[in-house]
Amino acid sequence: MKTRASSPPLHVHVDESTPVHVHVKKSQRTSPSKAAQVSIVIYSSGSQTGVSLKLPSVSDTGDLRLTLYQYKTCPFCSKVRAFLDYHGLPYDVVEVNPVMRKEIQFSQYRKVPILLADDGETLQLNDSSVISSAIKTYMISKDKNLKQILSYYPEMKYKDEKGKEVTEYSNKYWVMLGEQEVEEHYPSKESMK
């Protein structure tokens, strides 16, 4: 493993056959003490799969705990990771085996990303756009819990021309705010763009 003098300390658990390549960048918004809290734990033994990445918190989202089920190379998973990282939200990552998908057997939704969000009640968020929009709404809306916010993104199922069941979500590209929240966060029409 390459190390640099300016890098924060890392603690990595791997077996001998697991290649690891890690880059940790300190953001301008993260203090050195927060950047040093990054820990990476990679393990998979038999049917047991563990958290493979933990990131520190920069944003204040209360007691919201997030777990992202993903494929490392999935562009939609990358979109969710970029969103969570940009906002400094702490989350755990569980790598899903793309063939067996044992890690997401708990879900009827068979795609990734899946985000489990717990703010007192564990809820499953599907679709990268719904995840980003719902979590951003949650961050802004201080008087709504995540279950209320998810009701703004109803699931619609239908069968396509080949007879395959398709799931879509209403409002998935929108942050759902009340008028007072809009005025607080977007005081002019120009800031909404």
pLDDT band for position 185 (50/70/90)? confident
How do 48-49 and 92-95 pair as beta strands? unpaired
Does residue 106 carry a catalytic annotation?
A: no
> Is 12-192 in CATH node 3.40.30.10?
yes
Helix (H) or strand (E) holding 65, with range, is strand 65-70
Catalytic option among 74, 83, 109, 186: 74
Cα–Cα distance between 180 and 140 in angstroms, integer?
11
Boundaries of every domain in the chain: 12-192
Taking only the tens place, the pLDDT of each residue in 82-138 is 999 999 999 999 999 999 999 999 999 989 999 999 988 999 999 999 999 999 999
Q: Where are the alpha helices (DSSP H) in the chain?
A: 32-35, 75-86, 128-140, 146-150, 179-185
Cα–Cα distance between 151 and 168 in angstroms, integer?
14
Cα–Cα distance between 18 and 88 in angstroms, integer?
28
Catalytic option among 43, 69, 76, 152: 76
Helix (H) or strand (E) holding 66, with range, is strand 65-70
Does residue 186 carry a catalytic annotation?
A: no
pLDDT band for position 184 (50/70/90)? confident
Catalytic option among 43, 69, 71, 91: 71
pLDDT of residue 142: 78
Catalytic option among 69, 77, 138, 152: 77
Cα–Cα distance between 193 and 183 in angstroms, integer?
14
